[in-house]
Amino acid sequence: MRSAADYHAQLLALLPRGALWDALREPGTTAEQLLAAIAQEPARLDGRAIALLDELDPRTVVEMLEDWERWAGMPDSCSGLGATITQRREDLLARLTNTGGQSRRYFIGVAGRLGFPDAEILEYDPHTVEATVDAPIYGEDWAHAWTIRAPTPPIDQFNADSSVDESLGEAAPTTRIECVINRLKPAHTVALFEYT
């Protein structure tokens, strides 16, 4: 990135040759100070152009985050507007890179990303005559049900060194994980949620 001093030197070098122009190049002259002031704007534009490169990457976007979200179809019914910039960026990145899945591992990963890293999935098998006597008795409808068991989320407290865009304290919303899982789950299944 070029600085104002770099642009100032370029402007001075572009002045014509000659005794008059050499005198105008001297530090402290009105012409030299004018060129120093003019050099501020291309330096600012250069800095903004470099900053634009960060806005092209959803992992580092700040100023154009709303444009990225609109392009990705966000916010939707599962992502709230009150999230921090970091959370919104993570949601955007997940939306853009999510390939989907139906495995337990996939849904445990989704739960982990939503603030439930210790989540586990329980699946149910319909009771048959081959089942043991102490096996739970589930009907055939239970073959399409599964439970996400997760610890009750702790309350995130605001720290003095936290960013100003973070809330003062809140529990990880359980409605968000339920919304996201229900949106991603196979359509023929029923997802149940249990917080311990």
How does the average pLDDT of the chain come out, rounded? 86
Q: How far apart are CA 117 and CA 134, in angstroms?
A: 31
Query: What does residue 77 show for φ and ψ, rounded to 5 degrees?
Result: -65, -15
Report which residue type is found at 2: R
Write down the pLDDT at residue 157: 63
pLDDT at site 74 = 87
The interaxial angle of helices 4-14 and 30-55, nearest 10 deg, is 130
- With 60 as the cut, is the pLDDT of residue 169 above it? no
Residue 163's pLDDT is: 67
pLDDT for residue 162 is more than 80: no
pTM above 0.85, yes or no: no
Q: pLDDT tens digit string along 76-116?
A: 787 765 568 888 888 889 889 988 888 999 999 999 988 89
- Per-residue pLDDT, 138: 82
Reported as half-sphere exposure (CB side, CA atoms, 13 A), residue 140 has a value of: 0
> What sign has the CA pseudo-torsion 190, 178, 111, 150?
negative
Residue 154 has pLDDT above 80, yes or no: no
Distance between CA 11 and CA 4 in Å, rounded? 10
Helix axes 174-184, 104-113, angle to 10 degrees: 150
For 193, residues 6+ apart whose C-beta sits below 8 A from its C-beta are 147, 148, 150, 174, 177, 178, 181
Q: Which residues contact 122 (CB under 8 A, 6 or more apart)?
A: 146, 147, 149
Q: Confidence band (pLDDT; 50, 70, 90) for 167?
A: low
Indicate whether 130 pLDDT > 90: no
Q: Is the pLDDT of residue 166 over 70?
A: no
Compute the distance between CA of residue 188 and CA of residue 196 in angstroms, rounded to an integer. Answer: 26
The pLDDT value given to residue 56: 92
Helix (H, G, I), strand (E, B) or coil at 123: strand
Share of the chain above pLDDT 90, in %: 45
> HSE on the CB side for 61, CA within 13 Å?
18
Domain boundaries, the chain: 4-55, 64-98, 100-195
Q: Is the pLDDT reported for residue 186 higher than 90? A: yes
Task: Report the C-alpha gap between 17 and 6 in whole angstroms.
Answer: 20
